[in-house]
Structure 1
Amino acid sequence: MKKFKTSKESRVSITELMLPSHSNFGGKVHGGHILSLMDQIAFACASKHSQAYCVTASVNRVDFLNPIEVGELVTLKASINYTGRTSMVVGVRVESQSVTTGQRKHCNSSYFTMVAKGENGKNLPVPGLILTDKQGVRRFARSVERKASASSRDTKFEPAKFKVDDYLETIKSENAKLDLN
């Protein structure tokens, strides 16, 4: 296995027709179906990069920007944005396209942290990422920042470290009522 790979070596894309069986009660394609497709393509991309079975460790922020209609083509694109020792961040972009007008819509983008696993279930080292352009550097740096931010946020809200008084004023301006005993 190579020690380093470019993101281009493991890019994956799929296009699928959205069927009535994929719709929710509102007649649009169900977000859960799209999330399932996103997880599948993130798995394919990470497995291609690591040459190993991969599992989803976390999903960072999924915003549904535009609804997807039944009968539209949905294209998902995935690439490796970041590599750690055993983990990878896979960027996934979802676009829909009307088959009659050709109009395209960006529906969402998300970041899946995937971990390579060995036959024994233990984490496996993954090839590093060769950054070949400014876009790759930007994506890698953004993943580093996102990772640091998540760690800081998790630590900040640990029960032993959380200070209720620091948030009372903020909560008063939200749609909540304080009734502390």
Structure 2
Amino acid sequence: MEGNERQTTLRFLAEPADVNFGGKVHGGAVMKWIDLAAYACGAQWSGKYCITAYAGGIRFVEPIYVGNMIEVKAKVLYTGRTSMHIGIEVRAGDPKETERYLKTHCLVIMVAVDANGKSTPIPQWEPQTEEDIKLRESAIRLMEMRKKIGEEMESYVHEA
């Protein structure tokens, strides 16, 4: 039901097809997992189809190995009128053990869209705990920083 499920966790094993030339899981595979988790989280929050509008601040902390148990945790940190800022943590470890270690983290912004692909309103999320208030404030600060970065990047973008 929309508006009730604020977080989700995907769990699976890293497969041989995920490996890069160095023998570790390819960063592109990790980014795909991040996008899948962000979509699942955004769709269950909004009850609507969602598209990725932004993925940033991706930090690859440690390598992931084929055969690792992967947990991709996604949580709504802030909602706009049609968008959701979703914090992502990727953890991994030996599937025979319970401990998972932080491997990657980032922020993804998903936008809910209607059948015509137009952005559509979503349920608003209001933080209830002190931790949630801090997370929302952090998401707002990051939004302001992205605007400044976008202005700086305009000099690199050339219209055809």
| Structure 1 residue ranges without an equivalent (≥5) | 160-181
Between the two proteins, the alignment pairs up a number of residues equal to 155
Residue in structure 1 matching 2:18, options 22, 35, 39: 22
User: Does residue 72 in structure 1 map to residue 68 in structure 2?
Assistant: yes
State the 1:156 CA deviation.
4.2
Q: Distance in 1 between matches of 2:119 and 2:148?
A: 24
Residue deviations 1:22-48 (CA, integer Å, cap 9, x gap): 111111111111110110110010011
Counterparts in 2 of 1:10-89, with a 5 A limit?
Answer: 10-89=6-85
Q: Which runs of 4+ in 1 moved over 3 A?
A: 100-103, 156-159
Query: If the length of structure 2 is used for normalisation, what is the TM-score?
Result: 0.90
Counterparts in 2 of 1:90-169, with a 5 A limit?
Answer: 90-100=86-96, 102-159=98-155
- The residue identity in structure 2 corresponding to 1:141 is E
Q: Distance in 2 between matches of 1:28 and 1:103?
A: 19
Residue deviations 1:111-136 (CA, integer Å, cap 9, x gap): 10000000111110111112111111
- The residue identity in structure 2 corresponding to 1:90 is I
Q: Distance in 2 between matches of 1:27 and 1:115?
A: 35
| Structure 2 residue ranges without an equivalent (≥5) | 156-160
Query: If the length of structure 1 is used for normalisation, what is the TM-score?
Result: 0.80
State the Cα RMSD in Å: 1.7
Q: Distance in 1 between matches of 2:73 and 2:138?
A: 18
Which has the larger Rg? 1
